[in-house]
Amino acid sequence: MEIIKYPAKETWNVLLQRATQSVADIEDIVAEVFENVKVKKDKAVCSYTHRFDKVQLDDMFVSQDEFEESISVLSQELKEAIRLAKRNIEKFHRAQDIQGERITTSKGVFCWQEKRAITNVGLYIPGGSAPLFSTVLMLVCPAKIAGCKNIVLCSPPNKEGKIHPAILYTAQLCGVSNVLKVGGIQAIAGMTFGTESIPKVSKIFGPGNQYVTVAKQLATKYGVAIDMPAGPSELLVVADESANPAFVASDLLSQAEHGVDSQVICVSTSVEVLEKISVEVYAQLEKLPRKEIAKKSIENSKLILVSNDLIALELINAYGPEHFIICTENNNFYCQGIENAGSVFLGNYTPESAGDYASGTNHTLPTNGHTKAYSGVNLNSFQKTISFQKISEKGIQGIGPAIEIMAEAEGLFAHKNAVTLRLNSLKNKK
């Protein structure tokens, strides 16, 4: 890997670009699929499944037999690992269930908030070369804790017209039975408009390739919310002499193997550290089953040498990584200073893959610099917050005159009148 030494700040925009297609490159096909699914519904979904996934389906729904088969074919060891991860993820997300307290803003004026679950949610689970059954845990667990009533899960079928058994086992373990064999753009379009088979949802969750990402963004134009813009995976590590080069290299490769458009970056104040990490990357790369994918991803990736921690932190915040690993003597400096990151991992013994699977935090995170404005999926993602207020007679007498003055200043006399009538009624009451 090439080491980029002391890049000038004016070059950072180019240096930190992701290796992704622009929306303009793929939005035409996404728009075409949406329009056809909107009009032709199931017929269009099946047609695109045949075109993109090379399989002709008689029924999109996963049958009970397929669910039961998934239980029998998975090893007991894997099932136990999934259950352990589920417990940790549930524990972490339950702790996020904090209700707002009742506030007295003025005498006799009471305000508070209450949370309500989003009733209908759609979950997209990538299949393909890496069936992400772990994402089922990351989305279904908080959805269930939040109290979402209707959960639909879509995942692309393989060439045999089946969904990976680990995805089905995990869905069933988490209490989701409404699972459809639909992937890609057509799955997002189906959940956006609703078809004969796919329920229409209010919010869509889940990662995916660039086509899925653009499809989710298009869904928002039709009144469907999304968790966040999330595309190809990325990781940034900041490391110094206290870091273990082999560990850092393994983390870089763990993200690089996701896809050829994934990106990994290592920032350091030591050229020797970067050189050792580079050697380790290529040594470990040769042993990976997904070597060819990781190799192409590494071509899009960078080792960056900077002169001090302040510059490193500024560059990291400018990038806004999805995953951020800190392996330095000065971890607190980076913890306190990081502003833009999806999930942070501290120390030599906190691999990014722990967050992907079993530590308890959520791995559905914003990418492509969207950490500057978006959070990762959490319990609140599946809830709406409703404001409540109750005003007593004394309360309206206290704030009423201010409301009248402000409403009149804005030229909204019906607003003013709604208060004036109440104030006059209280005066007449006396």
Tokens standing for residue 122? 């759609």
387, with CB counted inside 10 A (0-12, 13-18, 19+), is: exposed
Contacts with 422 (C-beta within 8 Å, 6 or more apart), sequence order: 396, 400
190 vs 1, 9, 131, 183, 351, CA distance in Å?
42, 44, 21, 10, 36
17: helix, strand or coil: coil
Is the CB of residue 190 less than 8 Å from the CB of residue 45?
yes
Ranges of H-type helices in 267-377: 271-285, 291-299, 309-319, 331-337, 352-357
Is the CB of residue 143 less than 8 Å from the CB of residue 382?
yes
Tokens standing for residue 335? 């913890």
The set of long-range contacts for 8-13, using a CB threshold of 8 Å and a minimum separation of 24, is 9/314, 12/315, 12/318
Is the CB of residue 108 less than 8 Å from the CB of residue 391?
yes
Contacts with 62 (C-beta within 8 Å, 6 or more apart), sequence order: 163, 168, 179, 180, 181
The set of long-range contacts for 216-223, using a CB threshold of 8 Å and a minimum separation of 24, is 216/124, 216/188, 217/23, 218/27, 218/30, 218/31, 218/34, 218/188, 218/192, 219/188, 219/189, 219/191, 219/192, 222/192, 222/193
Looking at the DSSP assignment, which residues form a beta bridge with residue 304? 4, 267
Please list the active-site residues: 322-323
Nearest to 14 by CA among 315, 371, 323: 315
Is the CB of residue 122 less than 8 Å from the CB of residue 215?
no
93: helix, strand or coil: helix
